[in-house]
Amino acid sequence: MKKINAVLGVSALCVSLYAQTPAELIKKAKDSGLQPLPSGKELKDYQMQKIKEGKIAEGYAAKLTPAQIELGKKLYFDPRISKSNLISCNTCHNLGLAGVDLVPAAIGDRWQPNPSHLNSPTVYNSMFNDVQFWDGRSHDLGDQAKGPMENPVEMANKAANIVERITSIPAYVDEFKAAYGNNVKIDFKLIADTIALFEMTLNTPSRYDDFLNGNAKALSKEEQEGLNVFIDSGCTACHTGINLGGSMQAFAVVKPYKFAQVGGFKGDANGMVKVPTLRNVMETMPYFHNGQYWDIKDAIKEMGDIQLGQEISDKDAQKMETFFKALTGKYPTITYPILPASTNKTPKPVL
């Protein structure tokens, strides 16, 4: 009997040592660098800081006004900023599809695939990335918005033609005046910056954020277990911060990436690659920079192999997938805008 009691005592000790309360897991997550989406005044302050750092709409007093956001939304959905009049920001970053296009490689002007077979990252929560683009070449959304418009295999337009198209439409000119004042100078930078202001509103708070903010019941027991496995596996070395990603990190540090040859993308000059956000990850397949995995469990196991040097079991991959479902957030309500009509002065599309 004493021996049995002793065994039971050891078992109870083990349980007490390894049992983890929600409060302890929340602390563990925050100690690992995970942060909830800001809200209220904290969110506004964050947006203003990002605007200041990126010099978004510099020289104009008010920022993120309803008029600016609505104008930015129209520009985001307007295909006339492309050479062909067929491609808008929403084409590759579809707000009805978690901000992506659900194809392995982005398709642009004249149905050209991205030459490096790069996958379109989600636009949702993109404000919380440290950098933009897979090679991290932009540090703010305003600068990022310029790139696709002039890229020959994306929208394939020219800055001067974009400005001419927008300013040829009196309704757009009036909306720019309403957004920035009668003395507004409508140039390429302000067009891109206005799109960026709209994008700054595309944030998706989730139950995961509620949990980090102290609501112990926001995540189920299984989701909490998945979060714990996620942390213990070392995933937060890269997938950390507000966006569970968004910074530049070394890629394939232990083993080569299985599909590295698809597109041949090598990252930036130092071989660093932007870590994709895990927010809404269950809806942003296919995964990796070249979109080679459609099942999140396969992507998890590949990352464990090439980044962490460990074999993640099917069981643990399933647990992490369960946690990832809690990262699907509440999408903002987006009403598709009626765009202002072109005029006889509006430059014609080039097909």
Residues that constitute the known binding site for heme c: 89, 92-93, 235, 238-239, 303
Phi, psi of 120, deg, nearest 5: -75, 120
196: tokens are: 């960026």
CA distance 201 to 41: 14
CA distance 296 to 173: 45
* DSSP symbol at 40: H
Catalytic residue, from 53, 154, 302, 311: name it: 154
Residues whose CB falls within 8 Å of the CB of residue 293, separated by 6 or more in sequence, listed in order: 285, 286, 287, 299, 302
Burial of 327 (0-12, 13-18, 19+ CB in 10 A): buried
183, 187, 192, 198 alpha-carbon torsion, rounded to 10°: 20
Judge whether 154 counts as a catalytic residue: yes
Q: CA nearest 263: which of 144, 137, 105? A: 105
Q: Which residues are annotated as a binding site?
A: 89, 92-93, 235, 238-239, 303
Burial of 176 (0-12, 13-18, 19+ CB in 10 A): buried
Residues with catalytic function: 154
